């Protein structure tokens, strides 16, 4: 038995851990955003597998010393490094409850399945989709994009599950802009189509797909004997947060009978904000949408979602069989369809519970407002940066991402300044390459950020850049 | 801000939830193993997305009423339905800590990465693998098997990421026994190879792969212009827990230069038991091994693992690039290689923490003993069932799975008896089809099960079968 010998002693230890976890979240503002893992701690984390038991309290002590201080930092109000959500205390408690229940949401007839169905139906409703639609919670949008590519592949090539892509000689081609996340290319690679099957289209000055170039590419490919099957539109590109003209893409996809998928990793939940919804017009016409709960909805990692308009096609892509998973009319093996019929995994955690708790606790309106606030903060940050006279600010980006760079700076200066800011513990931003230029990037996907945090960011990065440029150290 | 307005009030609520969760785990023996979700509860779980906030306590109350009572049941000592782990209280607390830290283990330089590397290295060491090996925590063995298929595909077809499987005209073929889990077939489907690329080989009387038939199939395929690339061996088949002759498979794979993957979803951790290790001889010669922490190691769902002997091939299969994920020498964007380079996901939870806690708290010896105890209990259950004179018992299966059937019973009787047992709440077993016969299946993957639980199972299922046969109701 792996249960505690003394439940009351374990209870005290667990409450102690919970108090620390709550303090850790409450007091995050007082700590550095990030600090590197010291070498001696790395060394302790190379110890071999323990043969003998260790008291829970002692394991916890090692955790508190060697692990807890070295979080990624994304729950901190001045973590603006990448598009990471900030989590919530309620979400952390929900995840503990899910782990205590330890349900397997791969299928069968029990509570976790109904909660996951409810969460998915909320997003069907949000986009006005019918009961024919399906969905699945997954690790994240990378997995959701892969799922969408596979369903689109089935839609284009009915025999693909049986015979594979080689036998079909179908020359499938997909289309997405150059600003698309690399996981889309990876999805086509995994699906056996190869990265060359993805036609990477140019973007306009605001990083939106060039629709004319898309039209030309599809028509040229058809003329050459290729089989166009998929358009991936972006609701929030990774570098600047651009939104492709989704309405136009939907129209073209319908005309050409192509599968229209939207990668809305962080952007799709902006649909909860009435003020931002119009920017996303057309997303509701997609055949499939991928998005994350752990980004702009602040559910603890990991939790992404794939919704598919044609639930039957979704099921046809993944449903399998085995005598050990035979469905019954009653009992625990009832409950068709199973989530395992809609994705690769037969064992799946009760990931939906933390989503259910988060959306219930805060409600759609407040979650939408938090997203809108971050967009307003991005506008504020752009103004503040420009007002220094020291930075150029990338004017595009409709959401929460701000790209900027010090005037007359080298790539090395940008990278070194970003690293020094991280090392200072004051704030975390990242760097990326935009239109050939190395730039700094602040992603305000953070419900804890205040305008004063952005003021501090501007002052800190300006000082670091000044130091670097005056000492010519890089 | 999505943080509590009143932290101390939230703290009280969180402690209340934790107490309930601990009671839920401690008192599990007093409850029915499983009960169906009542219709009125299902109805409440169809409510639309809430617009407005709900107090955390009220969300929790709904959870306690509508969700908590309807767990899958696998933490119960008499859950023997499928190969599900039982979880531990320590694992649940660890998952709460991971959610509070909210780290993203996709990459970068922070604590979660070092913990995950440590956990993976423990299993490299267990199988005697070198530092060239790699690994990744994933949702479960389905995802791990898919990862292995993709790495094997890269190994066989270096250009596959770029050009896909169609251009290569390679006619790849994989090999596995008829007792192999359906997720292996699904992995080949996802990879674009098609289910027909999997040669399904017959098994012997004990459900182990027919090695001669394998030899013949590979040679015949080569002669016909196919390109054999992968053998999947089983360390614990899903229906009866058979172990393929892994040493012979390793030998043949080496001779034929095929990738040798072992699906050890539940069986691989039996390697922790010195008594069981010899049964798995040869597994350490695999090119890749997939297994679950959430099954026989009782880590809360979900947590699986893929380890690959040739880490460079693993990385070559998945590593991608994007300016927004450029690696730095210092700062938060350091820490190469990133886990995103070894799998499809760029955002990943700190799944390793609950594994780290579980293995540290209990230690390798005790975890191995718990596995061995379950195998001894399976032998006990076989004896008890046979002693009733009412059941035939499948003699094979070397691990924790017991298949049996009432003498002179129909398929309908088997299924109905299994359902009635589940509905009674006394115990959960499942049914499957074995060598053409519908049978009952008890999987003792459970650290809480006692021999008296098995006595109660035998008495209960015997009584139900007697009732069914006497009333001829089915």
Q: Give, in order, the Cα–Cα distances in Å from B51 to each of A129, A359, A366, A443.
A: 18, 9, 8, 26
* Dist. CA B204–CA B244, nearest whole Å: 10
Q: Which two tokens stand for residue B81?
A: 């339905």
Note whether A184 and A231 are within 8 A (CB): no
By C-alpha distance, the chain A residue nearest B58 is: A361
pLDDT tens, position by position, B446-457: 999 999 999 999
Is A411 in the B-facing interface, judged by CB distances under 8 Å? Answer: no
Q: What is the pTM of this model?
A: 0.98
What local confidence, expressed as pLDDT, does residue B325 receive? 81
B301 secondary structure, DSSP code = S
Q: Which helix (H) or strand (E) is A229 found in, with range?
A: strand A227-234
State the smallest CA–CA distance between residue A120 and chain B in angstroms: 10
* A18 to B21: CB separation less than 8 angstroms, yes or no: no
* A363 to B4: CB separation less than 8 angstroms, yes or no: no
* B112 to A71: CB separation less than 8 angstroms, yes or no: yes
Chain B contact set for A56 (CB, 8 A):
90, 361
* A346 to B302: CB separation less than 8 angstroms, yes or no: no
Is A319 in the B-facing interface, judged by CB distances under 8 Å? Answer: no
Phi, psi of B315 (to 5 degrees): -65, -35
* Dist. CA A135–CA A144, nearest whole Å: 10
* Residue B15 CB neighbours (<10 A): 16
Task: Name the nearest CA neighbour of B300 among B376, B351, B258, B340.
Answer: B351
Q: Which of B197, B239, B329 sits opposite A164 (nearest CB)?
A: B197
Note whether A149 and A138 are within 8 A (CB): no
Note whether A392 and A439 are within 8 A (CB): no
Q: Encode chain B (474 residues) as per-residue pLDDT tens digits.
A: 999 999 999 999 999 999 999 999 999 999 999 999 999 999 999 999 999 999 999 999 999 999 999 999 999 999 999 999 999 999 999 999 999 999 999 999 999 999 999 999 999 999 999 999 999 999 999 999 999 999 999 999 999 999 999 988 999 999 999 999 999 999 999 999 999 999 999 999 999 999 999 999 999 999 999 999 999 999 999 999 999 999 999 999 999 999 999 999 999 999 999 999 999 999 999 999 999 999 999 999 999 999 999 999 999 999 988 887 889 999 999 999 999 999 999 999 999 999 999 999 999 999 999 999 999 999 999 999 999 999 999 987 789 999 999 998 899 999 999 999 999 999 999 999 998 999 999 999 999 999 999 999 999 999 999 999 998 654
Token look-up 């077809």 returns: B157
What part of A 285-304 touches B (C-beta under 8 Å)?
292, 294-295, 298, 300-302, 304
By C-alpha distance, the chain B residue nearest A157 is: B192
ipTM of the complex: 0.98
pLDDT tens, position by position, A305-359: 999 999 999 999 999 888 878 899 999 999 999 999 999 999 999 999 999 999 9
Is B211 in the A-facing interface, judged by CB distances under 8 Å? Answer: no
Cis ω for the linkage preceding A209 (within 30 of 0) = no
State the smallest CA–CA distance between residue A450 and chain B in angstroms: 9
Is A238 in the B-facing interface, judged by CB distances under 8 Å? Answer: yes
Chain B contact set for A436 (CB, 8 A):
none
Chain A contact set for B325 (CB, 8 A):
182
Is A342 in the B-facing interface, judged by CB distances under 8 Å? Answer: no
User: E strands within A99-180?
Assistant: 134-138, 172-177
Q: Encode chain A (474 residues) as per-residue pLDDT tens digits.
A: 999 999 999 999 999 999 999 999 999 999 999 999 999 999 999 999 999 999 999 999 999 999 999 999 999 999 999 999 999 999 999 999 999 999 999 999 999 999 999 999 999 999 999 999 999 999 999 999 999 999 999 999 999 999 999 988 999 999 999 999 999 999 999 999 999 999 999 999 999 999 999 999 999 999 999 999 999 999 999 999 999 999 999 999 999 999 999 999 999 999 999 999 999 999 999 999 999 999 999 999 999 999 999 999 999 999 988 887 889 999 999 999 999 999 999 999 999 999 999 999 999 999 999 999 999 999 999 999 999 999 999 987 789 999 999 998 899 999 999 999 999 999 999 999 998 999 999 999 999 999 999 999 999 999 999 999 998 654
User: What is residue B361's three-state secondary structure?
Assistant: helix
**Which residues are paired to A439 by β-bridges?**
A432
Note whether B221 and B375 are within 8 A (CB): no
By C-alpha distance, the chain A residue nearest B182 is: A322
- Nearest-5° Cα angle at B105, B100 to B106: 140
Is B429 in the A-facing interface, judged by CB distances under 8 Å? Answer: no
* Residue B417 CB neighbours (<10 A): 27
Q: Which helix (H) or strand (E) is A148 found in, with range?
A: helix A141-156
Chain B contact set for A81 (CB, 8 A):
332
* B71 to A330: CB separation less than 8 angstroms, yes or no: no
Q: Which of B302, B322, B366 sits opposite A347 (nearest CB)?
A: B302
């Amino acid at each position: 038995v792996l249960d505690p010998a003394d439940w009351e002693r374990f209870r005290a230890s667990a409450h102690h851990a919970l108090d620390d976890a709550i303090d850790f979240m409450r007091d995050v503002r007082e700590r550095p955003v990030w600090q590197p893992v010291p070498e001696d701690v790395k060394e302790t984390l190379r110890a071999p597998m323990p043969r003998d038991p260790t008291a829970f309290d002692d394991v916890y002590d090692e955790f508190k010393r060697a692990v807890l201080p070295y979080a990624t930092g994304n729950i901190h109000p001045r973590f603006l490094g990448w598009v990471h959500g900030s989590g919530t205390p309620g979400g952390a408690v929900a995840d503990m409850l899910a782990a205590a229940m330890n349900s397997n949401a791969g299928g069968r007839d029990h509570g976790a399945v109904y909660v996951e169905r409810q969460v998915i139906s909320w997003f069907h409703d949000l986009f006005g989709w019918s009961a024919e639609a399906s969905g699945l919670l997954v690790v994240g949008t990378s997995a959701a994009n892969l799922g969408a590519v596979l369903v689109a592949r089935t839609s284009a090539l009915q025999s693909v599950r049986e015979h594979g892509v080689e036998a079909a000689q179908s020359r499938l081609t997909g289309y997405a802009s150059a600003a698309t996340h690399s996981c889309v290319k990876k999805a086509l690679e995994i699906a056996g189509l190869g990265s060359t099957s993805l036609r990477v289209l140019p973007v306009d000055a605001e990083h939106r797909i060039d629709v004319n170039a898309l039209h030309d590419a599809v028509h040229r490919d058809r003329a050459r004997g290729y089989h166009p099957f998929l358009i991936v539109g972006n609701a929030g590109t990774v570098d600047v947060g651009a939104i492709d003209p989704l309405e136009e893409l939907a129209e073209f996809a319908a005309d050409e009978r192509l599968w229209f998928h939207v990668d809305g990793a962080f952007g799709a939940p902006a649909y909860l904000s009435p003020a931002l919804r119009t920017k996303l017009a057309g997303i509701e016409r997609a055949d499939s949408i991928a998005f994350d709960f752990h980004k702009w909805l602040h559910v603890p990692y990991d939790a992404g979602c794939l919704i598919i308009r044609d639930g039957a096609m979704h099921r046809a892509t993944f449903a399998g069989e085995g005598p050990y998973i035979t469905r019954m009319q009653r009992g625990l093996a009832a409950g068709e369809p199973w989530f395992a019929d809609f994705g690769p995994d037969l064992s799946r955690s009760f990931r939906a519970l933390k989503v259910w708790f988060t959306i219930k606790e805060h409600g759609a309106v407040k979650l939408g407002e938090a997203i809108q606030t971050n967009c307003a903060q991005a506008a504020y940050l752009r103004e503040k940066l420009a007002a220094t006279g020291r930075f150029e600010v990338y004017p595009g980006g409709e959401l929460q991402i701000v790209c900027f760079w010090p005037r007359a700076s080298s790539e090395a200066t940008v990278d070194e300044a970003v690293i020094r800011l991280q090392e200072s513990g004051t704030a975390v931003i990242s760097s990326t390459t935009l239109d050939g230029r190395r730039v700094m990037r602040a992603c305000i996907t953070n419900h804890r950020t205040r305008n004063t945090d952005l003021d501090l960011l501007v002052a800190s990065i300006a000082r670091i850049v000044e130091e670097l440029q005056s000492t010519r150290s890089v």
